[in-house]
Structure 1
Amino acid sequence: MAARLTLITVPTDNDRRAPRFPGRDRLDLTFESLPETVRRCLSEADHLIHAPEIAIGPNATVRVPAEVAEALSNLDYGNWANRTMTEIAGADPAGFEVWRMDMAAAPHGGEAISSARDRVGGWLAGLEERSGAIVALCPATIVRIALTAALEAPLSMIWRLDPMPWSACELTRHGDRWSLRLS
């Protein structure tokens, strides 16, 4: 079955000048507060899925109920959550460097990036029974990880992907292969 998966990057209140490791704080969104392009995408969805920390209020123009996917949860940054990257790099430079270089490392006591890829990859594989337009609202890190999983790219590529807030990355599936659609 053919499917089109649109991953929409939901922004956090993270300041790009002093980026910090996010926690898993709940983000409540209203349909009316979303950019027009996102509202249109949600209105055209056959399946609407979101991370558990993202909640979107009901709206009559959205045809399908929203589903929560635990697999789309943001990375668990353990004791680094809500602390700036500069602070962590200064307090634990060795741990910070290991985390950046070794995708299986979790010096923060939370989840390793490779573990997150396993869960997101499992979620992507589980979409094979669905067809049509699938829209998923995700944190930026999960969008990066999903792209590497779908395209079977090295996980270290997450450092070279930079989804902007409210951007949409579109993947298409034919059979068991995902492709990145650029428009």
Structure 2
Amino acid sequence: MTSRVILISAAISEALREARFDDGSPVDAAGLRSARTAADAGAVPAGGRLWVSPTVRCRQTAEALGLEGGVDASELAGLDVGRWRGATLAEVSAKEPEAVALWLADPASAPHDGESVRAFCDRVAKRLDEAAGFDGRTVAVVEPEVVRALVLRVLGAPGSAFWRVDVPPLTVMEFSGRAGRWNIRAGRPLAERA
């Protein structure tokens, strides 16, 4: 039995453009246009199951891509940054430089009173483990940090590598495997046909 998990990173939003920690902001007009263009071009992969991160941005992206009937996958919610939610990285760095430095260097730290990178990676890996039990395709629309976390898990990379994985909006990351052993097909723009 071969399982495939196709992750689609959410479309661009104002928060992402501003390097602002997610505050529930919607996809911006350019992001919606890009998603609709990909859908119109037939570039959106089909799957037997659809998972959608519960963020506004992911739900809007899935809708713009024409993906309907998805299961709200709370385990695939973005990283909980606690009190930093809604602030830009520059604002937080100016107010709490030591806390930001610790957070970026130590995957077990959570100076924002939210979730550590390590705990986040463990949380989202549970969904990948679940997908290993399915034959066929699972498509998931997720936040970029979910893609990062799963790349680290599949490669067995340390949590310190989390910030070294760039995930542009509307790109596809595909995992395929059996018996929990995954391979990665990395970073295809959604605009290319699946």
Shared topology, TM-score over 0.5?
yes
- Show structure 1 runs of 5+ residues with no match: none
2:90 corresponding residue in structure 1: 86
> How far did 1:40 drift?
3.6
The answer (yes or no) to whether the contact 2:107–2:160 under 8 Å persists in 1 is: yes
Kindly indicate whether the alpha-carbon contact (under 8 Å) linking 1:120 and 1:149 is maintained by their aligned counterparts in 2.
no
Give the equivalent residue in structure 1 for 2:54. 52
Partner of 1:158, secondary structure, is: helix
Amino acid at match of 2:54: P
The 10-residue stretch of structure 1 (35-44 or 110-119) with the greater mean CA deviation from structure 2: 35-44
- Equivalent-residue separation in structure 2 for 1:5 and 1:42 (angstroms): 13
Alpha-carbon distance in 2 for matches of 1:160, 1:4 = 24
| Alignment root-mean-square deviation, CA | 2.8
Using structure 1 for the length normalisation, give the TM-score. Answer: 0.85
Unaligned runs of 5+ in 2: 189-194
**Greater helix fraction, Structure 1 or Structure 2:** 2
Secondary structure of 2:54's match?
coil
Secondary structure of the residue aligned to 2:120 is helix
CA displacement 1:52-77 (0-9 Å, x = unmatched): 11324499x75x73111111001111
SS in 2 for 1:129: coil
* Alpha-carbon separation, structure 2, partners of 1:39 and 1:5: 21
Distance 1:75 1:119 in 2: 10
- Matched with 2:109 is 105
Q: How many corresponding residue pairs? A: 180
- Percent identity over the alignment is 27
Write the distance in 2 (CA, Å) between the matches of 1:39 and 1:78: 39
Match of 1:14 in 2: 15
Using the size of structure 2 for normalisation, the TM-score is: 0.80
Is residue 51–residue 138 contact of structure 1 (8 Å, CA) maintained in 2?
yes
Q: 1:105 to 1:24 in 2, by over 3 A?
A: farther
Instruction: Give the aligned partner of residue 79 of structure 2.
Output: 75
Task: Say which is worse superposed, 19-28 or 144-153, in terms of deviation.
Answer: 19-28
The answer to whether structure 1 residue 176 and structure 2 residue 180 are counterparts is: yes
Cα distance in 1 for partners of 2:107, 2:2 equals 31
Letter of the 2:4 counterpart: R
Do the aligned residues in 2 keep the contact of 1:9 with 1:143 (CA within 8 Å)? yes
CA distance in 1, matches of 2:100, 2:90: 10
Aligned-pair CA distance for 1:165: 0.6
